[in-house]
Amino acid sequence: MINLDERYHDLLNHSNGKKIRMDGVNEHLIGYGWHCDGNEIKGYYLTTENYKLYYNINQVYQYKEKHRESSNV
């Protein structure tokens, strides 16, 4: 299984200038973790400034979700 800390932890340090390039746009990594279906780990996710990117267990990109806009209530 992939070691997420080994692969992505360095990207959490924004002072080093490293970013994730996605669709021609550079984004800071905010977090990462595993996602599951309730029974087994299906893959992992990366949270950037504007998106949550999902990858399967074989490290193949699956889809992304845009963060909801925060509303002032």
Question: Does 73 map to a domain?
Answer: no
pTM of the model: 0.84
Q: How many CB atoms are closer than 10 A to CB 57? A: 13
Q: Are 42 and 58 in contact (CB under 8 A)?
A: no
Q: What is the pLDDT of residue 69?
A: 67
Q: What is the pLDDT of residue 43?
A: 97
Question: Does 52 map to a domain?
Answer: yes
| Residue numbers of the domain that contains 42 | 4-66
Question: Does 71 map to a domain?
Answer: no
Q: What is the pLDDT of residue 16?
A: 85
Q: What is the pLDDT of residue 63?
A: 95
Residue 72 scores a pLDDT above 70: no
Torsion of CA 22, 28, 32, 38, to 10 degrees: -60
Question: Does 72 map to a domain?
Answer: no
pLDDT tens by residue, 16-68: 888 999 888 899 999 999 999 999 999 999 999 999 999 999 999 999 999 87
Question: Does 46 map to a domain?
Answer: yes
Task: Please tell me the total count of domains within the chain.
Answer: 1
Question: Does 34 map to a domain?
Answer: yes
